């Protein structure tokens, strides 16, 4: 059990490091790739006004860490898995507060819209918990199918 917890902590550290590295790269890179990624990251749809930034900031890390929670938490009590989902989601949301420090002031439009208010962060935490829970269910089901088990995850 201890090894599973260490695996989850290491996965959170690796994903957090990759997320910070991603934001540093797109903020500091002056290459064609870096500029293109920055323009894509900071763009938003003209019709809906929604941006692309939640995909690399929330969706990808939440689903990846959710799969890890599902794989390492298989066989754990539900309370333990729910606690892991909450902590992993809080980690992903807390990282979003660090990303603006890589960019010039007022260059991220969603920070200017008040996305760091307490209500907005609580809503983001709830949404991230849903994504992590979905990823953990997918990870548990994939592990069960890989082991040849027909049992549904608990």
The pLDDT score that the predictor gives to residue 117 is 74
CA–CA gap between residue 151 and residue 9 (Å, rounded): 27
Q: Is residue 114 part of a domain?
A: yes
Read off the pTM: 0.82
94: containing domain: 2-146
Q: Which of 27, 12, 31 is nearest to 108 (CA)?
A: 27
Residue 88 domain-assigned (yes or no): yes
Taking residues 98-102, report their average pLDDT.
83
Calculate mean pLDDT across residues 84-100. Answer: 91
Judge whether 102 lies within some domain.
Answer: yes
Which of 15-29, 97-111, 132-146 comes out lowest in average pLDDT? 97-111
Give 8's pLDDT tier (boundaries 50, 70, 90). very high
pLDDT at 86 over 80: yes
Would the pLDDT of 151 be above 70?
A: no
CA distance 22 to 28: 10
**What pairs with residue 51 in β-bridges?**
44
In a domain, residue 104? The reply is: yes
Whether residue 154 lies inside any domain: the answer is no
Q: How many beta carbons lie within 10 A of that of residue 16, not counting itself?
A: 17
Answer whether residue 138 is part of any domain: yes
Residue 152 lies in a domain: no
Total tally of structural domains belonging to the chain: 1
């Amino acid at each position: 059990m201890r090894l599973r917890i260490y695996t989850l902590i290491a996965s959170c550290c690796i994903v957090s490091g990759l997320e910070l590295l991603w934001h540093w790269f797109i903020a500091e890179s002056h290459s064609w790739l870096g500029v293109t990624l920055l323009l894509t990251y900071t763009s938003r749809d003209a019709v809906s006004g929604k941006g692309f930034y939640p995909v690399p900031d929330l969706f990808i890390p939440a689903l990846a860490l959710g799969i890890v929670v599902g794989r390492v938490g298989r066989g754990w009590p539900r309370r333990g898995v729910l606690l892991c989902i909450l902590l992993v989601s809080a980690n992903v949301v807390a990282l979003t507060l660090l990303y603006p420090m890589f960019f010039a002031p007022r260059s991220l439009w969603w920070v200017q819209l008040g996305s760091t208010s307490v209500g907005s962060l609580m809503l983001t935490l709830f949404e991230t918990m849903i994504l992590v829970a979905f990823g953990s269910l997918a990870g548990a089901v994939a592990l069960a199918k890989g082991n040849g088990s027909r049992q549904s995850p608990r």
